Amino acid sequence: MSTETAPVSDAYDELLERYERYSTVQSAGGVLSWDQQVTMPEGGTPARTKQQSVLSSMGHELITDEKVAELLAEIEEAELSGEQSAVVREIQRTHERAAKVPQELVEEISETASEALTAWESAKEVDDFSEFAPYLQTHVELKREYAAEIDPDRDPYAVLMEDYEPCLSLDRVESLLEAVRERLVPLIAEIRDSDASLAVDTFDGEFPVADQEVLARETLDTLGYDWDRGRLDTSTHPFTAGNQFDTRITTRFDSSDPLGALGSTIHEFGHAQYNLGLPREEWGTPLGESRDLSVHESQSRLWENHVGRSQAFWELFLPQMKADLPGIEDASVADAYQAANQVYEDNLIRVEADELTYHLHVLVRFEIERDLIEGDLSVEDVPQEWNDKYEQYLGIRPESNAEGCLQDIHWSHGNFGYFPTYTLGSVMAAQLHAAAERDIDGLSETVADGDFQPLHEWLSANVHQYGARFETNELVKQATGEEFVADHFLNYVETKYSDLYDLWARAGESAEPEAVSRWRLASSAVLSAVWFLSSASAPAAPHYRLWYTLCPSLPTYPVDGPAGNCGAGCLLPWPAWRIASRNLARQDEGDAEKRTSTPFCLPVE
């Protein structure tokens, strides 16, 4: 954490004191929410509803107090450091947003959420959407009213999304989601058409929940979870709650799906590490709070996908899994890696989805909740719309609402605008992990050795320690040296799954050009080092020119894209050359749908 200081006014000190009280009330509400989902008896809902309503009202009163507005106005003239200015920026955003919403509406939303949670749990258990529908309808109406109070002239969904990602516009979010959709849909189709045979049955069988819980705890031990400041429980929907002093994880178990519990546990560990890594001395201030849910999801998805689904992790962890779960003694590391990364053809559940189709699950929810809030879809039509979109995007159709529109907890909380942060977090995770690989020598080797300290330290230094000091894009730029973009994620999934499902050969690359093969075997380390050096030295487009300047003798390949696709000559280092050539191969095959995207065609400027 930076030690920059500046003369601080009495008004700033008082503002911090008031915000700390608000933050403390919010934290207490979080504990009650955790309790309701984990340990509260079923009959406790009526009292809990009132308790949560009172705390929401108290928090609203504290942050909207006229004195807060007066202090913010007085501070405008104060000399503040960069950190202090960030604190004021965040408090002012929270104050101004909350001050526009009547306290009665805040209380009504809180009471509805508490009652809706119980109704959702029951509706899901008995597979009866009609039991939950009235609460969803109330939530939609209340959240439309909430958005209108904040800004009646803006898209209400855009206003709601800012509760979870306040620093990226809806247009920017939609453009990122569209980039992901455009590439993943054809990639998933290619995978489903491939003849690759993966060891998908590696973990088939029945594994007692007690054994899986032992494994989950050993997983957290291995990754470095601080049990003095956390705990593991089970809940209907896995989640993480807490702060830098007390962060609690929940997961869930299915006797026939040990990978599901393992993945959700590692995912929630990522959330927990972010909370626990926030500066303790800044508790109660924005500098001691997470940036937003996009960044939060980047931490969980980084650990779940880039660590937990890596071959290096399975080299480390498979022996432990064999010891805890009898029946998988013959599994190899390659088997486990393939099973953990298989792309499912028939999975209906988002939290059990593979790394690719996961984002189509998110897209379904994003489109439905946006249409609900904007009045283009009625609550009673949600099940039908959900099932139709699953058939459209994933080629499968739920047979029940429990495995369909009732599977997620979010709408019971009234959390409209939350779902896009899952994909934003995955995209950001790939960019952060690429930067960590650049900065940490032999990161994969440290994972295989069970040494996670270098990654913990990198994330702490580049993400956790800043709290909410930087806005989303600036935080990513600070950590990686470039703007928040989808390129790293698209590159990562294209390369990983093309290798896994042998898609290179399907694109006509069964035999590599001689020069490429020679240089790839002899100089891959040099290529990677210089590419990362050029990226770090000259972010964005100029680094392609720097690459060529530094390495004029290394093999690059001019790729002349057809008009309407790229249209410019490109020089591509390995493996981008392979990716671009696959795109061109698709064009040669006359596949109009697939030739609409060549995201790795890199122009030299």
Residue positions annotated with a catalytic role: 268
Parallel, antiparallel or unpaired: strands 240-242 and 247-251: antiparallel
Parallel, antiparallel or unpaired: strands 571-572 and 230-234: unpaired
Phi, psi of 231 (to 5 degrees): -155, 165
262 burial via Cβ count (<10 Å: 0-12, 13-18, 19+): buried
* Residue 359 Ramachandran class (φ > 0 left, ψ -120 to 50 alpha, else beta): alpha
Give Cβ neighbours of residue 430 (< 8 Å, ≥ 6 apart): 306, 488, 489, 491, 492, 493
Q: Would you say the C-alpha torsion 304, 305, 310, 314 has a positive or negative sign?
A: positive
> What's the number of CA atoms in the CB half-sphere (13 Å) around residue 316?
20
Q: What stretches of 282-419 show up as alpha helix (H) in DSSP?
A: 293-301, 311-324, 333-340, 358-373, 382-394
Inter-axis angle of helices 45-64 and 103-126, to 10 degrees?
150
Residue closest to 422 by CA, chosen among 527, 280, 565, 293: 293
Q: What stretches of 395-513 show up as alpha helix (H) in DSSP?
A: 420-439, 443-448, 453-462, 472-480, 487-500, 503-506
Q: DSSP code of 450?
A: T
Give Cβ neighbours of residue 262 (< 8 Å, ≥ 6 apart): 215, 216, 219, 308, 321
Contact 295, 463 (CB under 8 A): yes
**E strands of 213-328, at which residues?**
230-234, 240-242, 247-251
How far is it, in rounded angstroms, from Cα 403 to Cα 412? Answer: 16
